[in-house]
Amino acid sequence: MAKIEIYDTTLRDGSQSEDVSFSVEDKLRILSKLDEFGIHYIEGGWPGANPRDVEFFEKARKLKLRNSSLAAFGSTHRASLKVDKDPGIEALLKAHASVVTIFGKTWDFHVREALRVSLQANLDLIFNTVSHLKKRVPNVFYDAEHFFDGYKANPDYAIQTLEAAISAGADRIILCDTNGGSLPGEVESQVRTVTAAFKTPVGIHAHNDSECAVANSLVAVHAGASQVQGTINGLGERCGNANLISLIPNLKLKMNKGCLTISKLKKLKDVSRFVTEIANLRHFKNQPFVGDSAFAHKGGIHVSAIQRHPETYEHIRPESVGNYQRVLVSDLAGKSNIIRKIDDFKLRVDPKSPKVAEVVKELKILENQGMQFEGAEASFELLLKKAFGLHRKFFDLIGFRVIVSKRKEGEDPICEATIMVKTPRGVEHTASVGNGPVNALDNALRKALEEYYPQLKDVKLIDYKVRVLTAGKGTATNVRVLIESGDSKHKWGTVGVSENIIEASWQALVDSIEYKLLRG
């Protein structure tokens, strides 16, 4: 089975999506998730472009990746500077990534109009940059920007740019459809030409401006490409990048290419929804393979057929990508997902217990109310423990009050929270201020509990997100609050849903604290 390398650029290309802005902590969480998933290469960002990516690489170095290699991204050195004097190249080296991916100009039009240098000077930029980095970094990948447009305009020069990178020691050459306007037939032809001309492994980096990014990537593999670049859920600038969530199962299940293991593939839906939650976007119900509607059946003839043989209206088994079959009107599936989570959480319960069906029923009700657990597995683990009698209460809320006051124009509001809780040693009544009402409430709750549960002193609220769930109701709509918390060893996500943002936040805060206390 031929192996295809999966190169993820969600943290760089994906972050350029409209309405997406990853914090450093967001990027670290996604990095860990993709490593767990088994992605071969994860592009973390452009360390010379902004302080956020510099900080990310500093923190990412402390993570022990088990399956993935971290890549830093940058451009060929400036024409006005020598390669060893370019601060952008120096920033790439300071990132200490095991892979550096460099993009350079392939299209002669770009060389003349964007770089404004001679064609030979551009070849020198490519050679000098790759050569300089290859002496200092284990792996250097070369992204041939606008390759397909460049090849159509001037095929001889486009090939010369690849030769410059290969002669300088590039470990991979990646053919980029940067404008996303190429069609599968021409992509396949040009990739076949390149793979026949060079021994260096070839990759494909496709954008989706013509809705062909996945198709172009698949035909590139058919033509000999051995690396596929893309993003989770097709995030990316303009219309996005090739969607790895569609590419990976097509490569594995349809083309019989070695990329991820079958066991890893079963986490596909989980990874897709995790990134969607962290990006604070809505899940796409009709997304192939992982969408809620991907294996949903409503028509009577369809339902009758799939109850006998699922293959009649399903191109793959949904369980192979972590999804499940749904029959609309009466939902018949879901137990397998719960049983899998019971195993993931190492809960000592009988997976054949009728309580599993009760959890499925409760889960459907909660999801209908707007609850989502993909980015909040701590809340879901608590739900399971409550259902199976493995949960215990550490405190009871008697009441709380949150006051936000603004005394005059130009000053920040003052936020104060007062809380009364019952603990094993009696009633605690505390008050605290904070940077916003949720932070004030969090501070007051900790103040009330830390004397009895000192382990909470180690817990930090890392991130906080709010999503409006129902359009058209204005400020009276339901909201979902997703909170990320962590201590010195772990990070976990919790969730709450309510029409009242403070109540939703309270639900997520309580889950976060109870999860910590149950873990010890």
Write out pLDDT tens, residues 37-87: 999 999 999 998 889 999 999 999 999 999 999 999 999 999 999 999 999
The backbone torsions φ and ψ at residue 221, rounded to the nearest 5 degrees and listed phi first, read: -65, -40
**What is the mean pLDDT of the segment spanning 469-487?**
76
The residue that leads in pLDDT, 265 or 307, is 265
The backbone torsions φ and ψ at residue 322, rounded to the nearest 5 degrees and listed phi first, read: 80, 15
Query: Cβ distance 313 to 319 under 8 Å?
Result: no
**What is the mean pLDDT of the segment spanning 270-282?**
94
Query: Cβ distance 499 to 477 under 8 Å?
Result: yes
Nearest to 39 by CA among 103, 104, 102, 99: 99
The Cα–Cα gap between 349 and 386 comes to 12
For residue 496, the cross-strand partners are 481
Confidence of residue 331 (pLDDT cuts 50, 70, 90): very low
Query: Cβ distance 146 to 111 under 8 Å?
Result: no
Q: Is the dihedral of CA 334, 338, 344, 350 positive or negative?
A: negative
Out of 208-212, 233-237, 336-340, which region has the weakest mean confidence (pLDDT)?
A: 336-340
Confidence of residue 329 (pLDDT cuts 50, 70, 90): very low
Q: Which domains does the chain have, with CATH numbers?
A: 5-260 (3.20.20.70), 296-370 (4.10.430.20), 396-519 (3.30.160.270)
pLDDT of residue 154: 97
pLDDT of residue 469: 81
Say if residue 386's pLDDT is above 60. Answer: yes
pLDDT of residue 333: 39
The b-or-e profile of 52-84 (16+ CB within 10 A means b, else e) is bbbbbbeebeeeebeebbbbbbbbbbeeeeebe
**What is the mean pLDDT of the segment spanning 455-480?**
80
Say if residue 407's pLDDT is above 60. Answer: yes
**What is the mean pLDDT of the segment spanning 289-307?**
80
pLDDT of residue 79: 94
Say if residue 278's pLDDT is above 90. Answer: yes
Out of 213-217, 256-260, 281-285, 295-299, which region has the weakest mean confidence (pLDDT)?
A: 295-299
Say if residue 158's pLDDT is above 50. Answer: yes
Confidence of residue 473 (pLDDT cuts 50, 70, 90): low
The Cα–Cα gap between 242 and 246 comes to 8
pLDDT of residue 409: 86
Say if residue 398's pLDDT is above 70. Answer: yes
> Quick one: how far is CA 238 from the chain centroid?
18
Residue with tokens 């839906």: 269
pLDDT of residue 327: 65
Question: What DSSP character marks residue 503?
Answer: H
Write out pLDDT tens, residues 248-260: 999 999 999 999 9
Question: In whole numbers, what is the pLDDT of the chain averaged over residues?
Answer: 92
pLDDT of residue 518: 92
Distances (CA, A) of 158 to 82, 193, 299: 24, 12, 52
Residue with tokens 């109870």: 514
Out of 225-239, 329-343, 484-498, which region has the weakest mean confidence (pLDDT)?
A: 329-343
The residue that leads in pLDDT, 474 or 40, is 40
Write out pLDDT tens, residues 110-130: 999 999 999 999 999 999 999
Out of 63-77, 359-373, 432-446, which region has the weakest mean confidence (pLDDT)?
A: 359-373
The residue that leads in pLDDT, 39 or 374, is 39
Tokens (6 digits) for 48 = 């010379």
Terminal alpha carbon distance of the chain: 45
pLDDT of residue 2: 78
SS (H, E, C) 198-257: CCCCEEEEEECCCCCHHHHHHHHHHCCCCEEEEEHHHCCCCCCECEHHHHHHHHHHHCCC
Is pTM beyond 0.85? Reply is: no
Question: What DSSP character marks residue 327?
Answer: E
